[in-house]
Amino acid sequence: MDTGIDVNTLQSEIESGAELAISTAALNLWYGSFQALFDVNLDIKKGRVTSLIGPSGCGKSTFLRSINRINERLGYVRINGSVDVFGNNIYAPEVELVQVRKQVGMVFQRPNPLPTSIRENILFGHKLHNRDRKYSRDDEDEIVESALQQVLLWDKVKDRLKRKATDLSLEEQQKLCIARLLPVKPRVLLMDEPCSALDPKGTAAVEELIWELRGKYSILIVTHNMAQARRASEECIFMLMGKVVEHTVTADMFVTPAHQETADYIEGRYG
Amino acid sequence: MANPGIADNQFLETELNVSAKRTETLFRILFMVMAGLLILPVLIILTTLLVKGSSIISFDFLFTSPTDGMTAGGIFPALLGTVWLVGVALIISVPVGVAAAVYLSEYAPDNWFTRAINLAIINLAGVPSIVHALFGVGAFVIFFGFGTSILAASMTLAVMTLPVVIVATRESLQAVPQAFREACWNMGATRWQTIRRVVLPNSVSGILTGVILEVSRTTGETAPIMFTGAAFFIPVLPESVFDQTMALSLHLFVVSTQVPNVPEALPYGVALVLISMVLLMNSASIALRMHLRGKKKW
Ligand SMILES: Nc1ncnc2c1ncn2[C@@H]1O[C@H](COP(=O)(O)OP(=O)(O)O)[C@@H](O)[C@H]1O
Ligand SMILES: [Mg+2]
């Protein structure tokens, strides 16, 4: 059932010769009558870590949430323009939301593991999307191990997979929240200030993990921490009041910003 | 001290402080006495029942039928009848109440329909039980043709206690952190998958508490069952939901006021059994809540 979509995405990828993970065209978004995004045109490359910076309230989270269509839950949100994920417009009428959510995983500011065991957390999405297939316990163990290996958590928790996920440290919880997305094989990972609830050590560890996942997944990470954007991303987008000001290679943005606003923000002249 | 110019120590007590403290003490004691008064009725009721009623309680009293025009013998048909009435009422009200609460808490958009339902629940909770009784007669006994039967009486009780179940369930659903739902939705879970795997398992304790409270409330009700299914005296035990039955609460009313020459201990004994059932279920509900709360962590 899900192979249909995969073939489609693959095909359009080949046709367009694209290596774009996300491509938005004239994306506008309104909360009721308040416009939060203005004509956002962004091409986010496959396999890269792209960071999204800008002052608080400029629409970073809004943009992120429009890429897995979680915004729509609020009845008063209106969107026009398009968001292509691997060449398919996710706002096309025939698109199934569940498939979007499956391919575009999201990590939040506060780690939000479910109040079950570590193992069950990892298997939650997997079981949800594979209800039609039988998996043996060994298969499941393998899935759990592989997901936890990828987020560099396996060695720490392998002896306590049955323990409550909510008993882990915040850093470990956040890693677990990333890990539980992986078994359903997402292609894009969205992270909304994933380190802002963590201490410096946890932040460093999660940044290291994000860097590790580069290449395998296309990662878009919102941060208000410029040092983090600088350390942990390859490309960087600067937004201001719902508009994209600048999108370049991270190193360039921080050394030779092309716009005055960018320079001002980087130097700390906005909140 | 009164002269700030000298000000050897600015932190000493002033007269204003003293009077504030005096008022403070006065009000604290006043409030404490008021709160303490609450214990009195409970103590008086329980001791009276124990002193006057416990002599009659025995195995035979609980498990045999009344004899000699209800002036002797036991209360078994009434005890069993109460269990029937409460049981059937639960079977009806719990599924309906929980489903309605799940809808209101997890699905309902904020619109006129939802507001109308909420208003209905509030008003249903405020309807006096005697009005429920008349409604039960009109709707279940006559209109649906159940006759005076356990079914009609239990349905009346179910309608009456529905608001309790709905409100308790909705509160415990809403106590489940929103972050859990967001986590599920973002992994592509539908609302129902989220409810079944995460929301319900984490709110059973609250739901159960509500259900038990409903049971204990239903147990004592008299008016709603009086005209709909409970009878003064029936020599046989009920065999199906279409039979009439005796009930503890009504039996208490009958032996206290309607039958001559009842020994004094009898009504107190019936009341003692009734109140023990209710207290037992309330304690069970509290214990269950504490047990389940101790287990969850977030
Ligand atoms: N659910 C919402 N309803 C109405 N307005 C919102 C909502 N979420 C965000 N906004 C508004 O949209 C703008 C962008 O918010 P957000 O995307 O959260 O900014 P950021 O993540 O960059 O801090 C802000 O002005 C905010 O007030
Ligand atoms: Mg934000």
Half-sphere exposure of B266 (CA within 13 A, CB side): 22
CA distance B31 to A226: 56
DSSP letter assigned to residue B262: -
What spacing in Å lies between the alpha carbon of A85 and ligand 2's midpoint?
21
A189 in ligand 1 pocket by Cβ < 6 Å?
Answer: no
Nearest to A100, CA basis, from A129, A78, A120, A124: A129
Alpha helices in chain B (DSSP H): 15-37, 39-53, 59-63, 76-102, 112-126, 129-136, 150-174, 178-186, 191-194, 204-220, 223-226, 248-257, 265-295
What spacing in Å lies between the alpha carbon of A69 and ligand 1's midpoint?
15
Helix (H) / strand (E) element for A80: namely strand A77-85
Instruction: State which of A62, A67, A70, A220 you would mutate to test the pocket of ligand 1, scoring each by most atoms of that ligand within 8 A of its C-beta.
Output: A62
Quote the pLDDT of residue A72.
83
User: Given a cut of 70, is residue A39 above it in pLDDT?
Assistant: yes
Contacting residues of B for A108, CB less than 8 Å apart:
179, 182-183
pLDDT tens digit sequence for A234-271:
999 999 999 999 998 998 888 888 888 888 888 876 65
Whether B40 is covered by a domain: the verdict is no
DSSP H helix total and E strand total for chain A? 11, 10
CA A38 from chain center: how many Å? 21
Do β-strands A20-31 and A243-249 pair in parallel, antiparallel, or remain unpaired? unpaired
Instruction: Provide the domain count of chain B.
Output: 1
Stated length of chain B: 298
A62 in ligand 1 pocket by Cβ < 6 Å?
Answer: yes
- Provide the angle, in degrees to the nearest 10, between the axes of the packed helices B265-295 and B248-257: 150
Distance from CA of A192 to the nearest CA of B (A): 13
Whether B21 is covered by a domain: the verdict is no
Residues A68-96, mean pLDDT to the nearest whole number: 90
CA distance B88 to B150: 8
Quote the pLDDT of residue A270.
64
Give me the amino acid identity at B115: R
User: Given a cut of 70, is residue A224 above it in pLDDT?
Assistant: yes
Whether B250 is covered by a domain: the verdict is yes
Whole-model pTM: value is 0.80
Quote the pLDDT of residue B2.
54
CA distance B36 to B28: 12
User: Given a cut of 50, is residue A13 above it in pLDDT?
Assistant: no
Contact A112 B180 (CB under 8 A): yes
Structure tokens at B246: 């005796």
Contact B297 A129 (CB under 8 A): no
**Bridge partners, residue B222, by sequence:** none
3-state SS assignment for residue A58:
coil
pLDDT tens digit sequence for B145-171:
999 999 999 999 999 999 989 999 999
Note the ipTM here: 0.81
Whether B108 is covered by a domain: the verdict is yes
Residues A22-33, mean pLDDT to the nearest whole number: 93
Quote the pLDDT of residue A14.
45
Whether B27 is covered by a domain: the verdict is no
* Percentage of residues in chain A having pLDDT higher than 90: 52
Whether B8 is covered by a domain: the verdict is no
Other beta carbons within 10 Å of B185 = 19
CB A33 within 8 A of CB A209: no
CA distance B274 to B268: 10
Compute the radius of gyration of chain A from its Cα atoms: 19
Mean model confidence pLDDT for chain A: 87
Contacting residues of B for A98, CB less than 8 Å apart:
188, 190
Whether B219 is covered by a domain: the verdict is yes
Distance from CA of A101 to the nearest CA of B (A): 5
3-state SS assignment for residue A83:
strand
Contact A99 B182 (CB under 8 A): no
φ, ψ at A227 (rounded to 5°):
-60, -40
What spacing in Å lies between the alpha carbon of A57 and ligand 1's midpoint?
6
Which segments in chain B show pLDDT lower than 70? 1-7, 295-298
Compute the radius of gyration of chain B from its Cα atoms: 26
Domain that holds residue B194: 71-294
User: Given a cut of 50, is residue A4 above it in pLDDT?
Assistant: no
User: Given a cut of 50, is residue A41 above it in pLDDT?
Assistant: yes
Quote the pLDDT of residue A2.
41
Structural domains of chain A, with CATH: 7-266 (3.40.50.300)
Residues A35-60, mean pLDDT to the nearest whole number: 92
CA distance B246 to A247: 80
Stated length of chain A: 271
A74 in ligand 1 pocket by Cβ < 6 Å?
Answer: yes
- With 0-12 / 13-18 / 19 or more C-beta atoms within 10 angstroms meaning exposed / middle / buried, residue A42 is buried
Q: CATH number of the domain at B183, please.
A: 1.10.3720.10
